[in-house]
Amino acid sequence: MMIGKKTVVVIGGGASGFFCAVNCARLNPELKVTLLERSSKLLAKVRVSGGGRCNVTHSCFDNRELVKNYPRGQKELLSAFNRFSVAETIKWFEDRGVKLKTEDDGRMFPISDSSESVISCLMEEARKYGVDIRLNCDVIQISHSIAEADRAGGNGTESVFKLSLVHGEPVSCDVLVIATGGRPKESGYDWLLSSGHGIEKPVPSLFTFNIPDKVLIGLMGVSVQHARVRIKGHKLESEGPLLITHWGMSGPAVLKLSAWGARLLNDLNYHFTIQVSWLPNFTEEKLRIDFEGKRRLNGAKLLSNILPEGIPRNLWEYLISKAGIADGLRSADLTNKQMNMLINVLLNDEYVVSGKTTFKEEFVTCGGVKLGDIDFKTMQSKKIPGLYFTGEVLDIDGVTGGFNFQNAWTTGWLAAMDIGR
């Protein structure tokens, strides 16, 4: 029989690593679980997500629809979500006193509206099941060997991992989970290359667009609930709420577009032109008919006072001016040429993007460990037994709305289940 407890080390104190560690310890008390975090802070993204409220998951209960929110990893996540779904995430947290609520856009938050509810829950699980948490432990090298092990019914072999740290003595373990999150540069994965796993080049995902237009950014804070944004010259487009900021444009429509176009926009060096449809439910013909009707009914009114539905006044005035129409024009005096120009601005408004800005502190990367190297039933490496990968260290990323956390919970759980057996 094996002497002493089997040791498990989880590298990474973010959502996926922490979830994996506490569930390993809970599912099998015979395991000695240690969590190593390279910084002095645990669960950093959990703390800042959703403006400090923590967007735990998204209320999408059809896994085939759920995976459509992941630009990379759809096929692999479908099988993973069939084993640990959104419903199971909700139940896991609610069983521990963290009840969730659903907002109109499908995002799910603790009813406390505080990320501290989620953090306290996870920290209590770690305390309850004896997870050894070590901060400021930066792993710089992993070595792997095979050792003889006594087993019930006969001898066998087991993996042994040795972790070299920037500071302190090396750490050894029988099972290793890598949950270090995404890294902004390829060099951030150098310490993993010796393991033989392929790395997809990391590039930013989920970022906002910098638009050097002083008049536009003068409208900062203005938002529309439904717009369509397209990369000019490409088929890539996205719909959803759009927000004008002091540096350009943000909101779900832009963030989703940045995720789906992560590699393309990186190739363009973040200099490109976008086309915005402020009224995506209208075709040119339908919008012209709508304008003609309003002009007949409200001919004496100023054009600036006849707002299209969903367009704020200050944005409407800006678009009228951008179409070259003078302030103070009556609706009845709008010429066909002016109408055509206004329709074009409303449906095909163009802006030059020069650079990007990271979306708050919720940095997400496209890229990471190649998915073909991982068994998504267990999250174990196909190359090295006893080695697991979870969360954003993999070449998986989702759009904004709780999807990246769902990937973290699911992959962390699957690894914990396999290790716990």
Q: Is the same domain home to 85 and 12?
A: yes
59 domain residue, yes or no: yes
Q: Is the same domain home to 190 and 216?
A: no
347 domain residue, yes or no: yes
User: In the numeric block, which tokens belong to residue 141?
Assistant: 């090298």
Angle at 354 between CA 204 and CA 237, to 5 degrees: 65
243-to-209, 223, 227, 384 alpha-carbon distances in Å: 11, 4, 10, 46
Q: What are phi and psi of 115, to 5 degrees?
A: -65, -20
1 domain residue, yes or no: no
Q: Is the same domain home to 189 and 235?
A: no
Low-confidence winner among 233-242, 271-280, 358-367 (lowest mean pLDDT): 358-367
Residue that is last in its domain, among 342, 358, 374: 358
pLDDT tens profile 173-201:
999 999 999 987 888 888 887 788 999 99
Q: Which helix (H) or strand (E) holds 341?
A: helix 336-348
Q: Is the same domain home to 292 and 185?
A: no
Q: How many domains does the chain have?
A: 2
Q: Is the same domain home to 263 and 181?
A: no
Whether the pLDDT of residue 406 is over 60: the answer is yes
What CATH number is given to the structural domain containing 29? 3.50.50.60
Residue that is last in its domain, among 336, 358, 380: 358
Q: Is the same domain home to 351 and 367?
A: no
Q: Any residues with CB less than 8 A from the CB of 218 and at least 6 apart, and which? A: none
Q: Is the same domain home to 133 and 94?
A: yes
pLDDT tens profile 253-283:
999 999 999 999 999 999 999 999 999 999 9
| Per-residue pLDDT, 148 | 61
In this prediction, residue 158 has a pLDDT band, given cuts at 50, 70 and 90, of: confident
Mean pLDDT taken over the chain: 93
Q: Is the same domain home to 297 and 390?
A: no
Q: Is the same domain home to 170 and 231?
A: no
| Per-residue pLDDT, 4 | 60
AA letter at 28: N
Could you list the beta-strand ranges (E) of 82-124.
100-102, 107-110
Whether the pLDDT of residue 2 is over 60: the answer is no
In this prediction, residue 285 has a pLDDT band, given cuts at 50, 70 and 90, of: very high
In this prediction, residue 157 has a pLDDT band, given cuts at 50, 70 and 90, of: low
**103 secondary structure, DSSP code:** -
Q: Is the same domain home to 255 and 158?
A: no
Q: Which domain holds residue 339?
A: 207-358
**Polymer length in residues for the chain:** 421
pLDDT tens profile 44-97:
999 999 999 999 999 999 999 999 999 999 999 999 999 999 999 999 999 999
148 domain residue, yes or no: yes
Whether the pLDDT of residue 1 is over 50: the answer is no
Whether the pLDDT of residue 295 is over 90: the answer is no
**186 secondary structure, DSSP code:** G
pLDDT tens profile 123-133:
999 999 999 99
304 domain residue, yes or no: yes
Q: Is the same domain home to 215 and 129?
A: no
| Per-residue pLDDT, 190 | 82
Whether the pLDDT of residue 150 is over 60: the answer is no
60 domain residue, yes or no: yes
Q: Is the same domain home to 330 and 401?
A: no
100-102 and 107-110: which strand pairing? antiparallel
Share of the chain above pLDDT 90, in %: 86
Residue that is last in its domain, among 358, 390, 408: 358
Q: Any residues with CB less than 8 A from the CB of 407 and at least 6 apart, and which? A: 16, 70, 73, 77, 391, 392, 396, 397, 398
243 domain residue, yes or no: yes
42 domain residue, yes or no: yes
